[in-house]
Amino acid sequence: MSNGAAGGGGPREGLTVTHRRYIPYSHAHYAGNLVDGAYLLALFGDVATEMCIRTDGDEGLFASYSDVQFRAPVRAGDVLEVSAVLQRAGRRSRALAFEARVVCRGRPDKGGSAAEVLPEPIVAATAVGTVVVPEPPGPS
**37 residue type, one letter:** G
Compute the distance between CA of residue 2 and CA of residue 54 in angstroms, rounded to an integer.
8
pLDDT at res. 36: 95
d(CA 38, CA 42): 6
| Buried/exposed code over 103-130 (b: 16+ C-beta within 10 A; e: otherwise) | ebbbeeeeeeeeeeeeeebbebbbbebb
pLDDT of residue 1: 37
For the chain, the maximum distance between any two Cα atoms, rounded to a whole number of angstroms, is: 64
Total number of residues shown for the chain: 140
**pTM of the shown model:** 0.87
Question: What pLDDT sits at residue 108?
Answer: 85
Q: How confident is the model at residue 140 (pLDDT cuts 50, 70, 90)?
A: low
Instruction: State how far the Cα of 121 lies from the Cα of 62, in Å rounded to an integer.
Output: 27
Nearest to 82 by CA among 115, 109, 45: 45
What is the structure's pLDDT at 109?
Answer: 87
Average pLDDT of the residues in 105-132? 94
Helices (H), ranges, the chain: 37-56
Question: Average pLDDT over the chain, rounded to whole?
Answer: 90
pLDDT one-digit tens code per residue, 1-57: 334 444 445 678 999 999 999 999 999 999 999 999 999 999 999 999 999 999 999
What are the tens digits of pLDDT across the range 54-111? 999 999 999 999 899 999 999 999 999 999 999 999 999 999 999 999 999 998 889 8
Higher-confidence residue of 136 and 80: namely: 80
**d(Cα 3, Cα 10) in Å, to the nearest integer?**
9
C-beta of residue 94 within 8 angstroms of C-beta of residue 130: yes
Assess contact for 60 and 45: CB atoms under 8 A: no
